[in-house]
Structure 1
């Protein structure tokens, strides 16, 4: 077998031993093997958000999995509840709310940066976004921010929606936005660029249920060939779509604003149609 196949098998065996859902039922271990293969024998720092177990149960299946397959890794876990029973020479657990940006920043300043950060926490829309926005800058160049179970963006129990998926600010929306983030150096409009964070991402890998955002090793490169081309294209963009800029910027800031605008427009049109119908009904001719 190849080194990668050996690693997949090692992940599978450890996952079944510790009861880790990354292996069963999700089968995420195949994707982890593809992206974290180079970390097997090197020292690195891994942070996992969400230690597992319900409430005060110990959990820790993932942390034990990482400890087994990465013999040189320093492994950190955060959870809403104390899980110190899991602490060992290479596993350290901490109480930290992934929905609290101040707490996350304080934790990262003390214990980061990290080579790999994995969000397998509450899966609630706001918590996932808070963790992503707060911690992405604490991933080292060449490292990964991993978002597990992002499909909860579609489920109301996690404050997501399938019906409103194009109007809610969700992790799925930001995975799509990551294409813009990768191409941020090629943006023309300074107004639009202001709404695209500079996360230093140069790769996005999306699989069913799990996604990997890879931090760039260097600065992002613009493909804009010249200042003349930039000015020409910016002017053309403004001529074509500049009159809609206010609407575009409002949507970029809050996707739900577009839905509110459409609802108001629909009501206005319906009222005008009804007014015309009333006049027609009153016309004796």
Structure 2
């Protein structure tokens, strides 16, 4: 069966904008449960410009399958709470790890639905890890997945996770969303995950909310931390004002989306520029 997202709002917008509106309770901006009556055909497999509200590409010129979105819509088991526009972002960065038995660490287990989704998406050979501060989340994590209980900013706990799983390919931070927790977790884990790993932080709209210690341009917020990392990424061009750091040498890209930040790692070589032109 094929699916397509039909906007429930009269005013037309981008596919992602329409999808987000369709997934919100009117007047609240808060997510609500999606009914399959909202959806009919086309997440994947259609042809032409209408071929699915979320089918973009994987970054390799190949169309995204929409598989994660379909899983979400058909989920009738463990609770799974996601903004609709997250799924094509996941596929853009995670598709490359399928079939490679990756190790995935998700911080924040909630109802256990996302761990089940990652297991389905990455397959039986993947190592799926969850970390949550609530002991009861062990009951919903699934027998095939391993759970660590504690705070995401506890360095001893993170060291234990790394010692027992020395090659983590993907980190998904969907934990407390408290600014200092997000920063502490990133600083501890990012240098130690796989050299070609991906570190994804979601729900970054909390960076603008005071209850998470966020705020617009507020010092100490995760978003201000990310802005500093953009400078670090370009340290080689600052004439020594910024030192070329381990972060600079190991980071391929930083991508910012609505409510998601993605860091892609890859060893970086010397920056070089050449000139090509017609023969004189």
The TM-score range, normalised by the shorter chain, is 0.5 to 0.7
Aligned to 1:189: 240
Aligned to 1:62: 114
Give 3-state SS (helix, strand or coil) of 1:152's partner. Answer: helix
Q: Contact conserved, 2:115 with 2:141, CA < 8 A, in 1?
A: no
Contact map agreement 2:213 2:221 (CA 8 A) in 1: no
CA distance in 1: counterparts of 2:118 and 2:238, whole angstroms: 39
1:38 to 78, 92, 96: 96
- Aligned position for 1:215: 265
Equivalent residues of 2:66, 2:87 under 8 A apart = no
1:198-254 deviation line (CA, Å, top 9, x unaligned): 5721111111011210011x23424599xxxxxxxxxxxxxxxxxxxxxxxxxxxxx
Q: In structure 2, the residue corresponding to 1:122 is in which secondary structure?
A: coil
Please say if residues 185 and 220 of structure 1, whose CA atoms lie closer than 8 Å, have aligned partners that are also in contact. Answer: no
Aligned partners of 2:258 and 2:65: how far apart in 1?
17
In 2, Cα distance between equivalents of 1:142 and 1:194? 19
Q: What corresponds to 2:202 in structure 1?
A: 148
Q: Deviations over 1:248-284 (max 9, x none)?
A: xxxxxxxxxxxxxxxxxxxxxxxxxxxxxxxxxxxxx
Q: Give the TM-score of the pair, scaled to structure 1.
A: 0.66
Is 1:11 the counterpart of 2:75 in the alignment?
no
User: Alignment length, in residue pairs?
Assistant: 212
SS at match of 1:142: coil
SS of the counterpart of 1:48?
Answer: strand
SS in 1 for 2:263: strand
User: Could you say what secondary structure the match of 1:177 adopts?
Assistant: helix
Structure 2: which 5+ runs fail to align?
1-44, 47-56, 275-280
Equivalent residue, structure 2, for 1:117: 171
- State whether structure 2 residue 131 is matched by structure 1 residue 81: no
For structure 1, which runs of at least 5 residues remain unmatched after alignment? 53-58, 226-285
Deviations 1:73-132 (A, max 9, x none): 210000002233245564111112112223222322222331000100000101111111
Provide the residue aligned with 1:256 in structure 2: none
- C-alpha contact 1:46 1:114 (8 A) present in aligned 2: yes
Query: What root-mean-square deviation, in Å, do the aligned CA atoms of Structure 1 and Structure 2 show?
Result: 2.7
Cα gap change, 1:117/1:28 in structure 2, threshold over 3 Å: closer, same or farther? same
CA distance in 2 between counterparts of 1:87 and 1:154 reads 30
Cα distance in 2, alignment partners of residues 84 and 19 from structure 1: 14
Q: Is the 8 A contact 2:232 2:244 kept in 1?
A: no
Q: Look at both structures and tell me which one has the larger radius of gyration over its CA atoms.
A: 1
Partner of 1:21: 81
1:233 corresponds to = none
| Alignment counterpart, residue 204 of structure 1, candidates 254, 258, 269 | 254
Hey, what's the Cα distance between the residues in 1 that align with 2:105 and 2:68? Answer: 18
Distance in 2 (CA, whole Å) between partners of 1:47 and 1:131 is 12
- Corresponding position of 1:160: 214
1:236 maps to: none
Structure-1 separation of matches of 2:195 and 2:210: 35
Aligned counterparts of 2:149 and 2:160: Cα–Cα separation in 1: 12
Distance in structure 2 (CA, Å) of the matches to 1:138 and 1:196:
11
Q: Relative to total residues, which structure has the larger helix share, 1 or 2?
A: 1
Answer whether contact 2:68 2:87 (CA < 8 A) is retained. Answer: yes
Q: Secondary structure at the match of 2:152?
A: coil
- TM-score normalized with structure 2 length: 0.67
